[in-house]
Structure 1
């Protein structure tokens, strides 16, 4: 089965398209799921769409017409991107899984009350003629979970069976980590901002509303301000126990300004250096108490050498840091697209696509809802046993 996994993250810069082939292998009671990444593309957003998405991610009120417009345009972009990927590769997908762009993830006193992703799946189903799975977080939220991090399922299946606790970390706009141990239950949660606040300062420094700290060059020019860092680290979110999740509803420009007013006159490059240290410090503070023996990292943050160096320094020599490319043969930039494809494969076969002990839900749930393609929706007979592990075909 070939599944197209689509992901747009909290950095809101591009659409990831992964064409992934799956098949079960091994004994019926402990099957392994083989995952073969057949093709991957990163489709940049047009400037007008990107700026409108970024506007939706700010805490200010927006007109409903903007929400509706982004929902349409992103759905159309997803349809065009999958059609182009299939046309260029000669592959045909059996299912499209579209995460959509998260524009709200509302958390009140640790409880997720609602989550909203845009990117109308009907445009994809109409263009491709195949079923589309979308809205992957809401059912877990309805079951009492955080709806995040969805990566817990893929990470668990990749890491299970090790002798020591191991972790996978994704550095997007928000950082999320999964820790799999042979002695305790798997845990996964958002550690805090990864690039979200760094991007805010990069845009202020350059004046470019879509800028980011390319190659960590801006942070490398500055010095960490320890007083500002201590102030940022005092945020109550970091002390909350898992399961927990967060987003740009908390970590945005006005949030940063509250802290900067208490530390006036700082050089902008010192601020971005401090925010880079904040990301590394909060990841380390989340991982080290769990006794992790190594971390495999994915996401846009892997392309920031200053951030990666800070992360290695905070974790120490006893916790080696690699990328998912190095650890599993899974390209770090394609991991979240592959994740979407995996969740689609599970839901298609009637299997829970969330890990309740990770999200805090009362039970595992099938992720998302299906939009039929050109034909009536016909799901296969549900599997009675899910995969025990995931193997990447390299």
Structure 2
């Protein structure tokens, strides 16, 4: 079964895609990565999205229009991906998270926009969407959903392996005697917010860590940032830009009573990611850390992690067949395969749910909705490889 996974993450910079051809081989699932790519949002659409995100006020009219515009952007990317990669049986669209409602350690709701009907209409392919909420209704956080992929992919690794995603938010799945997964805190979210607010470049992020590399960490500001109560909460837990946004930075600077130039601010925010991630990795006794997400392209961030975790083997997820920039899209393709076969696509120990659940809402394509025969048992492992390998 060929599944196209699509997601725009908490960096809201564009749409990542992965086409995976899944084949069940005994009790193991093999996924052949036939295509992966990334398409930036149109700058005007990204600016409009950023302007509507918390803590900014917005309107139902703006949410309706963004739901349509982002749905159309996903439809365009889906169509071009299918043109490049060939036909698919199912599309899984995560859409764009605009709000994740968490009260202390309890997730109460989540909202992803990007109307899937536009994708189904454009491609004629059925679309699975709204994949997080069912886990929340079962008492989970709806995040990190990638933990299901992580447990299948890293289950055979010796020691205590963990998967770390450095997107807008950092999240980690620890695959030891017991699985644990949760959002650690900001990875690139605050860095991006600072760069966008300063108008430092047209990218909206610190490409190759170039800005951080020219700055110096401000200890007073770092101490204020590290005092954030979220870090002390027990897992499972989840967070997002509802907490870690531009105003959060200006409030922290005011509390610290310092004046900070942009390079020093970005260096300090990068060190915040390093310190919070390293503390949790060390606390969990992780021996192998498999890293993915945009942060793998930031040498300042990766060097900081290696400095703080000298005993940990830090590798990029590409070594496990999951390209760092496409791993989350692969995870949603996997969720689609599971749902199509009537199987849960969550790891309850990772999200905090009472039980695993079959995820998502299906929008039919051009013809009758035809699903494979349901499977009685979930696969026990996953092997990812590239087409032709």
TM range (shorter): over 0.9
Q: Is the 8 A contact 1:177 1:191 kept in 2?
A: yes
Select which of 90, 114, 133 maps to 1:119: 114
Q: For residue 333 of structure 1, give the secondary structure of its aligned residue in structure 2.
A: coil
Alpha carbons 1:51, 1:210 under 8 Å: kept:
no
Which residue of 94, 99, 102 maps to 1:107? 102
CA distance in 1, matches of 2:206, 2:169: 15
Assess if the C-alpha contact under 8 Å between 1:176 and 1:189 holds in 2: yes
The whole-number CA distance in structure 2 between the counterparts of 1:81 and 1:105 is 25
Q: Match of 1:18? A: 18
| Correspondence 1:279 to 2:273 | yes
Distance 1:208 1:72 in 2: 28
- The answer to whether residue 341 in structure 2 is matched with residue 349 in structure 1 is yes
Contact 1:293-1:319 within 8 A present in 2 as well: yes
Partner of 2:370: 378
Aligned length: 385
Question: What is the root-mean-square deviation of aligned Cα atoms in Å?
Answer: 1.3
TM-score w.r.t. structure 1 length? 0.95
Q: What residue is the counterpart of 1:5 in the other structure? A: 5
Tell me if structure 2 keeps the 8 A contact 1:4–1:20.
Answer: yes
- Give the distance between the partners of 2:129 and 2:212, measured in 1 at CA: 37
What displacement does 1:32 show?
0.8
Q: Which residue of the partner structure matches residue 320 of structure 1?
A: 313
Residue 61 of structure 2 is matched in structure 1 by 65
Q: Judging changes above 3 Å, is the alpha-carbon distance between structure 1 residues 54 and 210 closer, same or farther for their aligned structure 2 residues?
A: farther
CA distance in 2, matches of 1:288, 1:207: 34
Partner of 1:178 in structure 2?
A: 173
CA distance in 1, matches of 2:292, 2:200: 28
Is the CA contact 1:52–1:66 (under 8 Å) kept in the aligned structure 2?
no
Structure-2 residue corresponding to 1:54: 50
Q: Is the 8 A contact 1:202 1:218 kept in 2?
A: no
Structure 2 unaligned runs (5+)? none
Contact 2:197 2:246 (C-alpha < 8 Å) held by counterparts: no
Q: Distance in 2 between matches of 1:221 and 1:208?
A: 15
1:2-45 Cα offsets, whole Å, 9 max, x none, are: 0010010111111112111000013xxxx111011101121111
Gapped runs of 5+ residues in structure 1? none
SS in 2 for 1:12: coil
1:168-207: CA deviation from partner (whole Å, max 9, x where unpaired): 11111000111101xx211111000000011122223444
Q: State the SS of the aligned residue for 1:261.
A: helix
Give the conservation status (yes or no) of the 8 Å contact 1:220–1:273.
yes
Question: How far, CA to CA, are the matches of 2:41 and 2:199 in structure 1?
Answer: 20
- Please report the TM-score for the alignment, with normalisation by the length of structure 2: 0.96
Partner-residue secondary structure (3-state), 2:244: coil
Whether the aligned pair in 1 keeps the contact of 2:28 and 2:379 (CA below 8 Å) is yes
* Partner-residue secondary structure (3-state), 1:262: helix
Residue 84 of structure 1 corresponds to which residue in structure 2?
A: 80
3-state secondary structure, aligned to 1:322: strand
Q: Distance in 1 between matches of 2:211 and 2:157?
A: 38
Distance 1:162 1:393 in 2: 17
Matched position secondary structure for 1:115: strand
* 1:223-266, Cα deviation, whole Å (9 max, x unpaired): 11222111111111101111000000000011111110023212
Cα offset for 1:380? 2.5
Runs of 4+ in structure 1 displaced over 3 angstroms? 204-210
Q: Counterparts of 1:286 and 1:60 in 2: how far apart (Å)? A: 31
